[in-house]
Amino acid sequence: MKEASKIMFFKGLNRLFLKPIFGPPWPYSIQRAWFKLMASVMLLPKNISITPIEMASIPAEVVTPKHLSTSANDEDNGLKKVILYLHGGAYCICAPKTHRSLTCNLAKKTQAMVFVPNYRLAPEHPFPAGIDDCLTSYQWLLSQGFNSHNITLAGDSAGGGLVMATALKIRELNLPAPIALVLISPWSDLTLSSLHSVSDKIDPLLRWSNLQAGVKAYLQGQDPSLPLASSSLADLSQLPPMLIQVGSEEIILNDSKKLHQQAMKYQNDCRLSIYENGWHVFQLQAGLLDMSDKAIEEIDQFISKCIQNSNAPNQMTKQ
């Protein structure tokens, strides 16, 4: 099947099986169960191990190429390439299992250990519980001897928002900084400033009603313009290099553009890649779509370049 036909096929699957269930009127219990069911039919690459662990008090899984040790206590931890991956799901659904097609392909391509915390979800655990869990997971990696110059923070959608919030907390606490931030279709503006200017008919997956419900469930009355909620409105000075990937057919495309503009305002090293005909987190189809494989390849090259440049002064360290 040609690439264009594959793209149309996967867009159709999203519109038929995911978009109608992702958001109101369905309760989050139904949405969570449905997305886990859909994830169970995803094809995963071979020679990848998935191991349940705990990162301090946070349940998680580590996705690793089988030839690499999964031990967190090896003497060479400081040399291991690590990705702390924060899954998306509008802050209210999904789990490490639903994103395995992405995390497994990331592990295969980057030859990294990919840690995926099962952070607490709203509405049961509203803002900032998820941020606290992601920060705890990062601190656990440091406590296990992993070198921050080999750690990348990555995430998609709401997970991209959590990447930015975690990076801001790391900067605030003056912790050793990760080497890079990878943001896949980041939801970085919970004020929903594009709500009345972009029709959700263009998006094969997302609906504005879903995002509105997510903001209500996650923030529960708190200000959506808070820096830890909307990083595209935050002070982004002294953050690590950033790669932003987004599809051209997303209702939150402007979130990525605004985040990139904000990063450039603060003179950050930030790259924005807009994939034509791409939809929300199309990287989940890695191994099946050339476009998705190209995006994973770009992430690998970006991380490798950041690690190669790791002798440069740490951009998060206060002078």
Active site residue ranges: 157, 250, 280
Structure tokens at 11: 């867009």
Helix (H, G, I), strand (E, B) or coil at 83: strand
Separation of alpha carbons 16 and 19, rounded Å = 7
For 131, phi and psi rounded to 5 degrees? -65, -45
CA distance from start to end of the chain: 55
Alpha helices of 220-289 — where are they, by DSSP H? Answer: 253-265
Structure tokens at 187: 């939801």
**How many residues are recorded in the chain?**
319
Quick one: 81 exposed, middle or buried, by C-beta within 10 A (0-12, 13-18, 19+)?
A: buried
Structure tokens at 32: 């969570």
Angle, helix 100-110 to helix 290-308, in steps of 10 degrees: 50
Structure tokens at 177: 């900084």
Q: What DSSP state is assigned to residue 81?
A: -
DSSP string, 117-185: E----TTTS-TTHHHHHHHHHHHHHHHTT--GGGEEEEEETHHHHHHHHHHHHHHHHTPPPPSEEEEES
Residue 116 β-bridge partners = 61
Helix (H, G, I), strand (E, B) or coil at 98: helix
For 55, phi and psi rounded to 5 degrees? -105, 95
